[in-house]
Amino acid sequence: MQGLEIRVRGQVQGVGFRPFVWQLAQAHGVRGAVCNDAHGVLIHATGADLGAFQTALSDRAPALARVDAVEARPYTFDTAPEGFTITPSRGQGAETRVTPDAATCPACLAEIRAPGRRQGYAFTNCTHCGPRFTILQRLPYDRGQTTMAPFTMCPACRAEYENPADRRFHAQPIACPACGPRLWVEVDAAEQPGDPIAGAAQVLASGGIVAIKGLGGFHLACDATNEAAVQTLRTRKRRPAKPFALMAREGDLTDFCAPTPADLALMRDAAAPIVLVRGTGALPDAVAPGMNRLGVMLPYTPLHHLLLDAVERPLVMTSGNLSGEPQVIGNAEAREKLSAFADAFVMHDRAIARRLDDSVERAEPPMVLRRARGRVPGTLPLPPGFEDAPQIVAYGGQMKAAICLIKNGQALLGHHLGELDEALTWEAFVQADRDYAALFDHRPEIAACDLHPDFRATQHAQTTGLSVARVQHHHAHLAACLGENGWPLDGGPVAGIILDGSGLGPDGTVWGGEVLLGDYRDFTRCASLTPAPLIGGDRAQADPWRNALVRLDAAGLGDAAERLFPDAPLALARQAAAAGLNAPSSSSAGRLFDAVAACLGLCPMGQSFEGEAAMRLEALAEQALGETGYGFAVTQRELDPAPVFRAILADLDDGTAPARIAARFHAGLAQTFADAARKLVERREARAVALSGGCFQNALLLEQVTAALGDIPVLTHRLTPANDGGLALGQALVAAARHIAPPESG
């Protein structure tokens, strides 16, 4: 009998795709079979309505599916099929995509709140929701290849699992209280009697700190409305000012924040990221000191829903880790490392295959600040022209480390790992490299990395035995932005406004405020901030006064530095700068933000976390929108901020409100860089403008640069981080472009 062999490629395993195909077959009178294999979903089908059946595979796919392609070719059945069946998975390997973890669906949420065998069960899930990547050990995605393997299904779960008409058909994490993972509360390493949800809620309501095991690791939680509890958590964790993330029920959001429709839509996404939302001031300032936005997520597991129903208030929900270390994922590790922080533990016995922090995103303008749980291991299609790209691994930078793989026309940008100078984060990085290679059957020909020889990721690339492609830091930022936007390999050059903290330039200096003209293969530096010394090297990132000092001195305002920073060792710092002693020259835009913030009294003597001064400066500027920007001194290749500091000091002397000064700085910086990029487009040297680098996490700056560019095409980050978390994607694309022969001219 004649029919079709239909191959469905993409994110089609672990999303209920086979029962969806089975239901389509019933509706269209199609006979045959469907299975999972290493390439995705394979269908053998025959029937009179095959055309409509094939179209529906992509048009009506399950919510969590991402169909890349539906391919069909003739197929001859040995014997005529009598019906349509779902057959066991075939083969080993990993040529398909893996589904990220997904927030609890409405059906499962209703189930845990209604009478029935899963009422109050913290591990309820189905093919439309629940853990995926955090439990997966190998592909294909079958229960025996996940951390659910030790839990033998009870007859009731087995019946659901084997029924193609049930929403739990082949839901690999399927469980119930009779056969699945269990939950308990511990105090002083002793399991407590009674309902664990009620027990944890009681500790939280009394002002205690609770360590909670989630999907990708432990959180530390406390009552966000209790100032003493929040401050206790800060004291115990030695985290004086970095904003805490919050978790709250949707109905409670307006009690403390003002989410827009776009904010709510992003919160409700299956990825359930932390979303930056404007606060109303109702919560203690200790939750996010000096910030006008709060990082808020909705509950995304049944455990979280049940706990929030019990406490009926927002909770601080911050990563459970020692300062600088990766998030804790194991029960024994949690007892060892988090006992000094937590008064109680909410534990369970389902193992976490890999740690994943919560993703952090902004809805307006759309941007990803941290790509992790719910987004990884989602992939991006390679832009046109990269069809012949070999398999490549890229290792990113030293900070906000993430790994990127290129394979089969897709780029997989891995999860946020952290700062590689921390020993345990480095161990996690090396483990992730092995894990991704094994899980996705990745066999790269090229290892891409940063130019900086002292970056641990760069040194790691050189130990792989692969051909190494070293990519300049800001070129990688540019390429990452181009790649996310699908800019063709031979789409022509663009002007890249690249603003960040620092990156080694090919001239040996530290770059960070550049206008580049380039594409995937190459670039030219067309303009940059006038450089200034980074006194103390890395200390300049920690102490904003150092950056203010060098900018004030360069503007002829040394006396102002004495007045603004009387407690700083200015004389010694000036000596170091003059001698070039641990004071490399830098065009860093990030340090320029720090300098302005310090002049306005925003944590001048030290930042308690990376980006604190700039974040406070942005929050301040948003109080005085509409200001005319300060002017820079612009030459052919340099953008000098000296006039900006003269104007800032004059405004301070005149008693101008700091918010207005902050707004004028933002507006002036945006206009200056936009003007420099615009010239390249107007001269037809560039076809568009790309905005990348960590400074573009600043939504105000992003909006103002975009507005200043007017009708010029602008490429921005939406799905990948503008910060160093996106570097590996750019490195991989640059390495691929170098490997692919350019088109012959003429």
User: How many Cβ atoms from other residues are within 10 Å of residue 190's Cβ?
Assistant: 7
Q: How many Å apart are CA 170 and CA 348, to the nearest integer? A: 23
Q: Looking up tokens 């083969």, which residue turns up?
A: 91
Q: Looking up tokens 């090229």, which residue turns up?
A: 446
Q: Note if 443 is an active site residue.
A: no
Q: How many Å apart are CA 43 and CA 325, to the nearest integer? A: 46
Report the DSSP pairing between strands 274-278 and 360-362: parallel
Strand intervals (E) in 416-549: 446-450, 467-471, 494-504, 510-518, 523-529, 532-533
Q: Note if 18 is an active site residue.
A: yes
Identified catalytic residue from 31, 36, 321, 698: 36
Residue type, 106: P
Backbone phi, psi, residue 594, to 5° = -60, -40
Q: How many Å apart are CA 173 and CA 433, to the nearest integer? A: 26
Nearest to 28 by CA among 1, 65, 60: 60
- For 262, residues 6+ apart whose C-beta sits below 8 A from its C-beta are 363, 364
What's the alpha-carbon Rg for the chain, to the nearest Å?
27
Contact 144, 150 (CB under 8 A): no
Nearest to 376 by CA among 384, 365, 385, 368: 368
| Coil vs helix vs strand at 346 | strand
Residue type, 183: L
| Coil vs helix vs strand at 233 | helix
Q: Looking up tokens 């003597």, which residue turns up?
A: 605
Helix (H) or strand (E) holding 681: helix 658-682
Nearest to 413 by CA among 364, 448, 462: 448
Identified catalytic residue from 9, 18, 118, 354: 18
Q: Looking up tokens 């974040």, which residue turns up?
A: 615
Report the DSSP pairing between strands 31-37 and 40-46: antiparallel
Q: What DSSP line would sit under 591-608, residue for residue?
A: HHHHHHHHHTTSSTT--S
How would you label 468-492 residue by residue, b for 16+ Cβ within 10 Å and e otherwise? bbbbbbbbbbbbbbbbbbebebebe
Residue type, 153: M
Residue 192 DSSP one-character state: P
Q: Looking up tokens 């966000």, which residue turns up?
A: 224
- Measured CA distances, 475 to 403, 521, 727 (Å): 17, 9, 9
Residue 176 DSSP one-character state: -
- For 370, residues 6+ apart whose C-beta sits below 8 A from its C-beta are 274, 357, 358, 359, 360, 400, 416, 721, 725
Q: How many Å apart are CA 613 and CA 570, to the nearest integer? A: 20
Q: How many Å apart are CA 66 and CA 55, to the nearest integer? A: 15
Residue type, 561: A
Residue type, 648: I
Considering only the C-alpha atoms of the chain, give the largest distance between any 2 of them, rounded to a whole number of Å. 92
Q: How many Å apart are CA 553 and CA 555, to the nearest integer? A: 5
| Coil vs helix vs strand at 166 | coil
Euclidean distance between the first and the last CA atom of the chain, given in angstroms as a whole number: 52
Nearest to 696 by CA among 447, 445, 512: 512
Residues forming the active site: 18, 36
